[in-house]
Structure 1
Amino acid sequence: MIKKVGILVLVLIVPTFIYLGLKLNGKNHYQLPRFIPAIDSASGEILMRENPDRKWNEPEKDTVFQTIPEFALINQKGQKFDSKNLKGKIFVASFFFTRCGTICPKISFQLARVRDAFISDEEIKFISMSVDPKFDQVDKLADYANRFEAKSGQWDFLTGEKKYIYPLILKGFHVPLADASEYDQAIKNPDETFIHSERLVLVDKEGVIRGFYVGTDPKDVDRLLMEIKVLKSIYQQ
């Protein structure tokens, strides 16, 4: 009888102590992948760096990941927008042009939904880069920004020189982009001219890409919303 009582106590009490221990001392450890490893130009191998703070079960070296390069463009207010404005911020980048009649309005609508979720959060920023910068001057950007009630400083629509923007989007944000008119002068329709990605790109405070999302897919944008919160939680751990 005593043995049975002892077993019953263990069954009832031990789980309680385990729960309390986890509740009082446990932490939630969220993970979010990093994208685009840095490559050594000489060897072609992925760059690694020492990990002096590693735990016993972690590797001695960490992968080095590419960061978004520094840039300077012009926003919808006609003001210089420097990438330093994003230093220490989590931000979402998108790519569009104001004459776009297909996917761009859909992307901007979804991005506005994400913006609304973080409307009072100074830690979260948004940028939208024009892939038609010759046409998309400040007045065009301002009109487009007003359609989505975008405020500069929180959501900036950016333009500049094409020779500067295209390499930045292709090599910095790692999304596809092309101007079809460079190959076929007969193409006149803007929606057929500028072939750009519908991806949204999530970038952390260090400038490392943490996620790609289909900007026209509400479910994938829901994933972006969740992963922004995850990224914020990682910084709070």
Structure 2
Amino acid sequence: MKVSSIPASSWQLLSTTALLISLSIFAISCGPGDDKLPVLGQKELVTRTVDGKTVTDSVAHQIPDFAFVDQYGDTVTAKTVAGKIYVADFFFTSCPTICPKMKVQLKRVFEKYKGNSDVLLLSHSIDPKHDSVAVLKKFADNLGIAGKQWLFLTGDRDKIYDIGQNSYMVTAQEDSSVPGGVVHSGAFILVDKDRHIRGIYDGTTEAGVDKLMKDMDRLLAENKA
């Protein structure tokens, strides 16, 4: 079936469902009775030399270093999120379909954790050609967002698409047959202080975001344990 034959809302739901199913295959179990959230993503093999011997270890999937620009014109890197948990999503300001729902729901997260120095929100634009620093600043202002806790990011298009697909494991695809011209996932991705993905949620629904916030509380408690 071609993408163009599926309504944008249905494609988003299918993409999110398929993503959650596939990620469950790669979840790292925490053991019976352990209340910690699983670490999602396929383990990677790393070869190193120890005492003259070659050793191969498996390490958890991790969001790599990155550099994008926020709505204030400041560069945001992995150092910005160091020691914090954060929620990442992918959107564009002119999106007429799922993005408005996503931003309503993500604002709920912002309001709950507003002022918590251990929590950040990173919204990546998948239309950086249009979504300049000025456009993102106006978008944030219209949402009533100020300060540096919820950052709207722009930058090189290929790098944004690459980190979305290969690191955060979400989809985005240009499609002129759908409103806005882009089909993309409505997922919110929960990332821990070590840049490991700990959960992926439907960011278009209240129930999905309720689950996200419960898991954020669990992750914050885990960090203090």
- Identify whether the pair has TM-score above 0.5, normalized to the shorter chain: yes
Contact 1:77 1:152 in 2 (8 A): no
Identify the residue that residue 161 of structure 1 maps to in structure 2: 156
Identify the residue that residue 35 of structure 1 maps to in structure 2: 40
What 5-or-longer segments of structure 2 have no aligned partner?
1-32, 48-54
> 1:206, 1:164 → 2: CA distance?
21
TM-aligned CA deviation for residue 190 of structure 1: 5.4
User: Which structure has more RCO (C-alpha within 8 Å, separation ≥ 6)?
Assistant: 2
Identify the residue that residue 78 of structure 1 maps to in structure 2: 73
Contact 1:99 1:190 in 2 (8 A): no
For 2:144, what is the secondary structure of its paired residue? coil
Identify the residue that residue 189 of structure 2 maps to in structure 1: 201
1:131 to 126, 129, 137: 126
What TM-score does the superposition give when structure 1 sets the normalisation length? 0.73
The aligned amino acid for 1:98 is T
- Residues 55-70 of structure 1 aligned to structure 2 (within 5 Å): 64-70=59-65
What 5-or-longer segments of structure 1 have no aligned partner?
1-27, 50-62, 181-186
Q: Equivalent pairs: percent with the same residue?
A: 35
TM-aligned CA deviation for residue 41 of structure 1: 8.6
> 1:169, 1:114 → 2: CA distance?
21
> 1:212, 1:189 → 2: CA distance?
25
TM-aligned CA deviation for residue 137 of structure 1: 0.6
Identify the residue that residue 121 of structure 1 maps to in structure 2: 116
For 2:120, what is the secondary structure of its paired residue? strand
Identify the residue that residue 212 of structure 2 maps to in structure 1: 224
1:99 to 65, 74, 94: 94
> 2:179, 2:67 → 1: CA distance?
25
Identify the residue that residue 173 of structure 1 maps to in structure 2: 168
Q: Which has the higher strand share?
A: 2
Q: Deviations over 1:188-217 (max 9, x none)?
A: 8652x2111100000000000000000011
